[in-house]
C-alpha cells in the first residue's frame, strides 16, 4: 500500500513539474501574435500607451495653422466637418485669429496673438489668464489657458471633463499640457542664443 502511495505522489510531482514548464505558445514563431496576459488585450494596451504619447512640434509652423494642425493630429480637435468649425470674433480678446471646434459636447477654441503689435485688450486678457486662469468677456468669466510662449490662447469646454475619474478629464489635462508646450522650446532656444550673444558682446567690450 505504501509503495502504491509513493508511486502516486511521484507521478503527481512529475505531472506538476511538466505543467509549470509547459509553454502553450512554444511553437509560435511570431511572438507578437501572443495575446497579453495582464488583463488587457495587446490592442488595448498599445492604445493606452499611444494616448500618453506627445507629438513633436518641430514639424509644425509657429503660427495659427501650425497650432491647429498640431492639435488636430494630436486628436484634440476635428477639422473634417466644416459645419462644426466657427470663426470667432478674435479681436474681442485682442487676438488676430480664432476658431471654435465642436465635437459633441466638447468645444475647443484656439486663438493666436500678434505680440509684435500694440494691443491693450490683448495685454489685459493675457495678464488676466496668467494671474487668474480666466478672462472676462461681456461680463462673463471664461476659463482659458495661455501657451508657454505667450502667442496662443485656448478655451477648452467639456462637461464630461468635470469628473476627475473620466477619460475626458485625462484627455483635457493632456490637451492643456501639450497646448502650453507648443513651440515653447523654440522660444527658449532663441532666448538662450540671445543671452550668449549678449555675453560675447560684453566680453569684447
Overall average pLDDT of the 100-112 stretch: 97
Using an 8 Å Cβ cutoff, are 136 and 78 in contact? no
100 class by beta-carbon count within 10 Å (0-12 exposed, 13-18 middle, 19+ buried): middle
Domain boundaries, the chain: 81-204
**Pairwise CA distance, residues 67 & 71, whole Å:** 6
Q: Could you tell me which of 36, 56, 31, 33 has the C-alpha nearest to residue 47?
A: 36
Residue 88, pLDDT > 70, answer yes
Lowest mean pLDDT among 112-116, 128-132, 165-169, 191-195: 191-195
DSSP H stretches of helix in 2-102: 2-21, 42-52, 64-73
pLDDT score recorded for residue 70: 98
pLDDT tens digits for range 139-161: 999 999 999 999 999 999 999 99
Concatenated DSSP letters of 52-71:
H----STTS-SSHHHHHHHH
Backbone dihedral angles phi then psi of residue 23, each to the nearest 5 degrees? -115, 105
**Pairwise CA distance, residues 119 & 193, whole Å:** 28
Residue 79, pLDDT > 70, answer yes
Residue 54, pLDDT > 70, answer yes
Higher-confidence residue of 110 and 32: namely 110
pLDDT score recorded for residue 166: 95
Instruction: Kindly indicate the confidence band of residue 196, based on its pLDDT and cuts at 50, 70 and 90.
Output: very low
Residue 36, pLDDT > 70, answer no
**Pairwise CA distance, residues 187 & 200, whole Å:** 20
Indicate whether this model's pTM tops 0.85: no
pLDDT tens digits for range 157-179: 999 999 999 999 999 999 999 99
Amino acid at each position: 500500500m505504501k509503495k502504491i502511495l509513493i508511486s502516486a505522489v511521484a507521478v503527481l510531482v512529475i505531472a506538476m513539474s511538466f505543467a509549470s514548464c509547459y509553454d502553450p505558445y512554444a511553437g509560435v514563431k511570431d511572438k507578437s501574435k501572443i495575446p497579453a496576459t495582464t488583463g488587457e488585450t495587446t490592442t488595448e494596451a498599445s492604445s493606452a500607451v499611444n494616448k500618453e504619447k506627445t507629438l513633436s512640434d518641430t514639424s509644425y509652423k509657429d503660427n495659427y495653422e501650425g497650432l491647429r494642425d498640431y492639435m488636430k493630429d494630436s486628436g484634440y480637435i476635428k477639422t473634417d466637418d466644416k459645419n462644426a468649425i466657427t470663426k470667432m470674433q478674435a479681436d474681442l480678446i485682442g487676438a488676430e485669429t480664432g476658431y471654435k471646434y465642436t465635437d459633441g459636447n466638447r468645444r475647443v477654441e484656439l486663438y493666436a496673438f500678434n505680440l509684435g503689435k500694440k494691443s491693450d485688450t490683448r495685454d489685459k486678457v493675457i495678464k488676466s489668464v496668467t494671474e487668474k486662469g480666466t478672462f472676462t468677456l461681456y461680463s462673463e468669466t471664461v476659463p482659458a489657458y495661455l501657451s508657454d510662449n505667450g502667442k496662443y490662447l485656448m478655451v477648452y469646454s467639456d462637461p464630461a471633463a468635470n469628473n476627475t475619474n473620466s477619460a475626458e478629464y485625462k484627455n483635457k489635462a493632456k490637451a492643456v499640457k501639450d497646448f502650453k508646450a507648443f513651440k515653447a522650446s523654440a522660444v527658449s532656444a532663441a532666448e538662450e542664443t540671445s543671452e550668449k550673444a549678449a555675453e560675447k558682446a560684453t566680453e569684447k567690450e
